[in-house]
Amino acid sequence: MRHRHLTRRRLIRLLEAGEVSGVIDHVAACEQCAALLESDGDLSSPIQRALSNAVAPPRDLVDRMLVSVADRVRRQESIAVFADLFSIGWQTSKLFVDPTTHPIPEGDA
């Protein structure tokens, strides 16, 4: 199949027979057959419209997403702020209790 160009009919027969990976391999190496696939098969407008309706989002999707995404982002930011504050507190307390922390020499103070 690799060195023979596919006719539309043969292409359809191969795909109907489940030879998808064989067709993909051939098309990857054959510009002419790739162009045939690309040029063929635009959906008719009624089908395209029905397809578009089938996957259309609810009318209020964007409004609800604006609220829920902003809310989740803010919650994550709050957690990050809390973690930072905790970290600062922890580091500060370590300065007071860490035995390896040396006092500043009197001359430098």
C-beta separation of 71 from 78 below 8 A = no
Q: Scan residues 17-36 and list those touching other proteins (CB under 8 A).
A: 20, 23-25, 27-28, 34
**Nearest residue (CB) to other proteins, 78 versus 101:** 78
**Nearest residue (CB) to other proteins, 32 versus 100:** 32
When binding is defined by CB under 8 A, the residue of 73, 86, 91, 93 that contacts other proteins is 73
User: Does residue 72 belong to the site contacting other proteins (CB under 8 A)?
Assistant: yes
Q: What is the DSSP letter of 84?
A: H
C-alpha separations of 49 from 19, 45, 52, 56 in Å: 30, 6, 5, 10
Which amino acid is it at 77?
A: E
In whole angstroms, what is the distance from residue 53 CA to residue 59 CA? 12
Q: For binding to other proteins (CB under 8 A), which residues are involved?
A: 11-12, 15, 20, 23-25, 27-28, 34, 37-38, 40-44, 46-59, 61-62, 64-66, 68-70, 72-74, 76-77, 80-81, 84
